[in-house]
Amino acid sequence: MIVQIDWAAFLAVFAAALVGASLVVGFYAIGLRLLVRAGRAPVVAPAEFTDAITVISEKEARRAAKAAAKAAKKSPLTDGQKRVALIGAYASFGVCALAVLGGLLLLVLH
């Protein structure tokens, strides 16, 4: 039994995966950056896991939320600029979602 590999198809799939991953990661990073510039830094509450290596305390979580609020107040952007940054952040997250949905559709339909 001889196994033959279609290297052209392999390279096409590799290139598509590389471009798709770069697209999702890049636009997600841009979205987070714009979200922070808009003064809406994501603060995530600590999760309690039994096997967690490090878990931040509620005091540290409050301190992080306070620092995020303080940074939002210090923003040199006007309200209009913040609104544009927020819209850009949501658009970037939308591009990420569309890229993931497009990849899933390619998997399901082919």
Looking at 5-14, 58-67, 90-99, which range is the least confident one? Answer: 58-67
- For the stretch 47-69, pLDDT in tens is 666 565 666 778 887 888 888 77
Q: Please, where are the H alpha helices in 38-110?
A: 58-73, 79-109
Q: Centre a 10 Å sphere on the Cβ of residue 12 and count the other Cβ atoms it contains.
A: 11
Q: What is the model's pLDDT at position 57?
A: 76
- The sign of the CA dihedral 95, 97, 103, 105 is negative
Q: Does pTM top 0.75 for this prediction?
A: no
pLDDT value of position 91: 96
- The mean pLDDT value for 72-87 works out to 83
Does residue 22 surpass a pLDDT of 90? yes
The per-residue pLDDT for 76 is 78
Q: How far is CA 16 from the centre of its chain?
A: 19
